[in-house]
Amino acid sequence: MLCRALRCPRVGRGLAAARPVPSQLCVRQSARQMQYSHDPYEQTGRGSHGDYRAWRGTTVLCVQRGDEAVMIADGQVSMGDVVFKSNVQKVRRFGGTDEEEGRIVAGFAGGTADALTLFERLEARLEEFPGQLTRAATSLARDWRTDKYLRRLEATMVVTDGENAYLISGGGDVMNAEGGLIGIGSGGFYALAAARALATCEESSNLEIEDLAKRAMTVAADLCVYTNHNFVLLKTSANPKKDEGEGEDDASTADTEEKEEQK
């Protein structure tokens, strides 16, 4: 019966009308190309973790030297071509107690809700592996890659404990900082290039890591329209007792000088 229906001239004409001719296919393909010509990443559907749009709207720079590290980020949030907010904090501390601040500092680039979810997972991994940032970062990257829910999150993270600094992505990548420098976000490459230039320049070799990070971020903010000059900087050290000892030495030196002056 089906073969007879297909042989019917009326049905045949209907099928021929429904089948697009080559000219119509060409028109549809050209229209699709025009639709996606402004953004080639739209052709593949949802942006992947390497998609530049997942990094748009923020700049985070990590500078690690010796047993100290600095994480600095701008405060701008962009919605399309509009500056939605200018004082967002994109870096935070982990692993702290009521008596002392945490040594782990992390920054994110991407969706805020996705980053907060990843921060919670990172905090859970740090509680599971206290004092083992490398193991915690590797465990988070594995969960991020394999979990059906987490793999949909669009963000990129940078974490450091003063001694090590890692970039963590949803592709399962955990990359150590090269030369102690990591930059992510829309202006991350500008900040990274400026930081590398300052780190290798003889005139700025004596700069403190805070000053180096601020100068590099200033260059990125001047070049990237999605980055402003409202910087938030957090510093951490792998040996916090060392800083406390230096402070005590300075205080004792000052007291000795005052006693000598009185005499």
Does the residue 15 lie in any domain? no
Which domain CATH number covers 180?
3.60.20.10
Does the residue 131 lie in any domain? yes
Spatial separation of the C-alpha atoms in residues 187 and 226, rounded to whole Å = 7
pLDDT, tens digit, 9 for 90 and up, residues 193-202: 999 999 888 7
- How does DSSP assign 117-153, residue by residue? HHHHHHHHHHHHSTT-HHHHHHHHHHHHHH-TTGGG-
pLDDT band at 98 (very low <50, low <70, confident <90, very high): low
Percent above pLDDT 70 for the chain: 67
pLDDT band at 24 (very low <50, low <70, confident <90, very high): low
- Annotation says 58 is catalytic: yes
Whether 17 shows a pLDDT value over 60: the answer reads no
Q: For position 3, what pLDDT does the model report?
A: 54
Spatial separation of the C-alpha atoms in residues 250 and 260, rounded to whole Å = 16
Catalytic residue among 44, 58, 200, 253: 58
Does the residue 19 lie in any domain? no
Does the residue 3 lie in any domain? no
Lowest mean pLDDT, pick from 9-18, 148-157, 222-231: 9-18
Percent above pLDDT 90 for the chain: 27
pLDDT, tens digit, 9 for 90 and up, residues 221-243: 999 999 999 999 999 988 766 55
Amino acid at position 194, single letter: A
The structural domain count of the chain equals 1
For the record, the structure tokens of 80 come out as: 């399309």
* Better-predicted residue by pLDDT, 145 or 70: 70
Whether 2 shows a pLDDT value over 90: the answer reads no
Spatial separation of the C-alpha atoms in residues 127 and 125, rounded to whole Å = 5
Whether 52 shows a pLDDT value over 90: the answer reads no
Does the residue 16 lie in any domain? no
Whether 218 shows a pLDDT value over 90: the answer reads yes
**Domain range for residue 180?**
52-239
Does the residue 158 lie in any domain? yes
